[in-house]
Structure 1
């Protein structure tokens, strides 16, 4: 039968529902409390929270703030580690150089201290000064030798026909040049000759020729140009032949000032002849003289190889004083007289070493300049050359005679003769030809 109003069946389900409700609320409350604890722990100790969460069976929920802070901390640590690694790498690279520098400085300091302990005197630390003093000593020795030679007498000077003197001439650049003069004593002076020697030699080699000029009434002046004989400069080295040209002009002014109203001639041999020619291209110099005499002039000089002309300007700047090994250790054959060759190449005042780079380039340069300006030569001249000359080309002499604008010009070519005409076996005949030409110019002037 169906019964209504009994109490026991209705209370039991409601009680169970309440119990379940309480358990759910309790679980939710505990879960919230656990979540709050996790959030607090994760914000203060992320690593501990991560360890606890991984070991707990409950699910782990990280807030956005905690996860962001963990990412930032990770990025800073990585950046700091990279910087430390980079600095370590730089120190590893730079440390050997630093150590080597310190070792070098320590060694230099120790060596300086040891030098000071060994030698209490002043230590010169500038090599250039030492080189300069050594060069000055070498110049002084050459100059002393040139001066002593003035006191020697040759057999033909027994009658005191000549008075030979020397003079020190200072250039505007500050260089000191050795000059000398030969004055006739037996005859009256009627003219002047200023003499320029050739490359690697000196003015004293022309003593015999100067006395021959004295016998004909010519007073002779000669100058050892820079780097030669008793003059300043490294022996056999010419930094610029323009220096020699300027020095000749200044020396000529001095000679003319000491001998007013006397006609003057210039004489030049080989490279000295090239210097004379370039000097007389100046109208002021050309107007002061009556004529020039040139023997074996360096107008056309061939380089040993075509490539030399190309690289010479470069090498003359980089290594101007460098000397290439000379193929002919005894010197080039410049005379057919064996005794003359022996005397020349045994003379300490004659430079017998290999030609220096800058000197060779300067010769090529002045030759090129003269070849481009031969038509500008207007001074009266006599040029002489041996056809077998192997030092300077006789064709250059022929070009000079053909292209010069001078109305008074003469040429003499000697078949089979070599470079040093005034030291050939026929030297006296050649000297007589020169003196006759000079004397004829004086006769023309006196008649005018």
Structure 2
């Protein structure tokens, strides 16, 4: 069966985001916004000219006002110009629908070897975040793994992986970060990845409080790996974590031209939620397993739309920060990357391995593999590598 390749992640979409065609479209939108902002001032100017050219008495104005009110003229506002509150309601409803689906999947997961549960917690910003856990039934828990998914996906996609960790004595916790899965926010819109970093720190504290005395590891994929990396650069988090596992980490995502680094913050400020329609879904497959691709992109909790401008800028911002602070990383880590990954750069993972100050560090580059390593045909071997690394550190 011929299957159209799909894409996910950040790199190629960011290149498309800042293409010449995309910039022209954005500049046209900026011009339109400026003109709309100027319309009220132009109207006031014309009104002033009219009042100076025609002397209308007070009685005449009152009479005209009475006539206008008696005619009961109705001003109709187009749907596109409904106040912002209505748009917020739509976003809240959409997030509630996603959350209900995420909860239903947890409740309906009947596995004799694993107890799967969900919980909600409120962030410092007032957003409700969806989290879940996988606990082994008959295997003694020897350690913890806190899992962060990648851009556009959700923690539930890693259920099979979590259950494999359960079978080896690891209790797993997953968090859907802002705008993803069952958590609040416009789907796949990230106003600031620092929010996700702060949420991850709070979630980590909750996990440690529930499981005192157990070693805790963090697993992150793609942008989720970038979030974990920035979190563990905090000395307080570094002291709480026994090690981190990173698959296809987003530490090497760059736009196609350096000028876009200057333009990105401006465009993301003016049109943060604008979706760029030039991202090419046929250019960057993320897995060589056709069934895994179909399962991913038929999942309503996986975002398949075009990258939002602010989200793209936030990815550029966190990768730039990590590039400048790799030498501050001191926790033990395992990084895994496919050499044919076209979403994030495997050479950046090599640079992370070389520059990190960690004395316990391991890198594995898989020849010919793509971005979603745990959904490649070789997923069992990759999972075994991760479990072996964990077993040696418990």
Q: TM-score range by the shorter chain?
A: 0.7 to 0.9
1:136 is aligned to 2:126: no
The equivalent position to 1:227 in structure 2, one of 179, 196, 211, is 179
1:355 paired residue number: 307
The 1:110/1:286 distance shift into structure 2, 3 A limit, reads farther
TM norm structure 2: 0.81
Instruction: Tell me the SS of whatever aligns to 1:441.
Output: coil
Residues 317 and 215 (structure 1), Cα distance of their counterparts in 2 relative to 1, 3 Å cut: same
Match of 2:380 among 391, 408, 428: 428
- Quote the offset at 1:302 in angstroms: 2.1
Match of residue 271 from structure 1: 223
| 1:293 matched residue in structure 2 | 245
1:149 aligns to what?
105
Shift of 1:129: 1.4
User: Secondary structure, in 3 states, of the residue corresponding to 1:211?
Assistant: helix
Structure with greater helix share of residues: 1
Change (3 A) 1:113 1:165: farther
- Pick aligned residue for 1:169 from 118, 121, 126: 121
Instruction: Work out the CA distance in 1 between the residues paired with 2:294 and 2:55.
Output: 60
What's the CA shift for 1:314? 0.5
Question: What are the superposed Cα offsets for residues 381-439 of structure 1, whole Å, 9 maximum, x if unpaired?
Answer: 00000000000000110000000000000000000000000000011110110011011
Say if 1:91 and 1:185 are closer, same or farther in 2 by CA, change over 3 A.
Answer: closer
Deviation of 1:152 after TM superposition, in Å, equals 3.4
Change (3 A) 1:111 1:347: farther
Aligned partners of 2:295, 2:189: CA distance in 1, in Å? 22
**Residue 271 (structure 2) pairs with residue 315 (structure 1):** no
Q: 1:366 aligns with which of 289, 314, 318?
A: 318
- The residue number in structure 1 matching 2:3 is none
TM-score for both structures, normalised by structure 1: 0.71
Matching residue of 1:392: 344
Q: CA deviation at 1:304?
A: 3.7
Tell me the residue number matched to 1:441.
Answer: 393
Whole-Å separation in 2 of the counterparts to 1:364 and 1:171: 24
| Unaligned runs of at least 5 residues, structure 1 | 1-89, 119-124, 443-448
Structure number with bigger Rg: 1
Instruction: Give 1:50's aligned residue.
Output: none
| Counterparts of 1:317 and 1:164, CA distance in 2 | 40
Structure 1 residues 410-429: aligned runs within 5 Å: 410-429=362-381
Paired residue total: 337
1:314-353 deviations in whole A, cap 9, x for unaligned? 0011111111113324684100001111111111111111
Structure 2 segments unaligned to the other structure (5+ residues) = 1-47
C-alpha deviation, 1:379, in angstroms: 0.2
Q: Which has the higher contact order (CA 8 A, sep 6+)?
A: 2
Pairing 1:240–2:180 present? no
Aligned 1:2-13 pairs, distance under 5 A:
none
Verify the 8 A CA contact 1:375 1:403 in the aligned structure 2.
yes
Are residues 369 and 111 of structure 1, via their aligned partners in 2, closer, same or farther at CA, if it must alter by over 3 Å? farther
Matched, 1:344 2:344: no
Q: Secondary structure at the match of 2:116?
A: strand
Task: State the shift of 1:305 in Å.
Answer: 3.7
Measure the CA separation in 2 of the matches of 1:96 and 1:379: 77
**Equivalent residues of 1:326, 1:353 under 8 A apart:** no
- What residue in structure 2 maps to residue 302 of structure 1? 254
Distance 1:300 1:95, change over 3 A: same
1:57 aligned partner = none
Contact 1:330 1:345 in 2 (8 A): no
Q: CA RMSD in A?
A: 2.6
Please state whether the residue corresponding to 1:235 is helix, strand or coil.
coil
1:5-50 deviation per Cα after TM superposition (whole angstroms, max 9, x unaligned)? xxxxxxxxxxxxxxxxxxxxxxxxxxxxxxxxxxxxxxxxxxxxxx
Kindly state the Cα deviation for residue 141 of structure 1 after the two structures are TM-superposed: 0.3
Q: How far has the Cα of 1:111 moved from its partner?
A: 11
The alpha-carbon distance between structure 1 residues 97 and 330, as it changes in their structure 2 partners (threshold 3 A), is farther
**CA-to-partner distance for each residue in 1:173-205, whole Å, 9 max, x for gaps?**
111100000000020111000000000100000
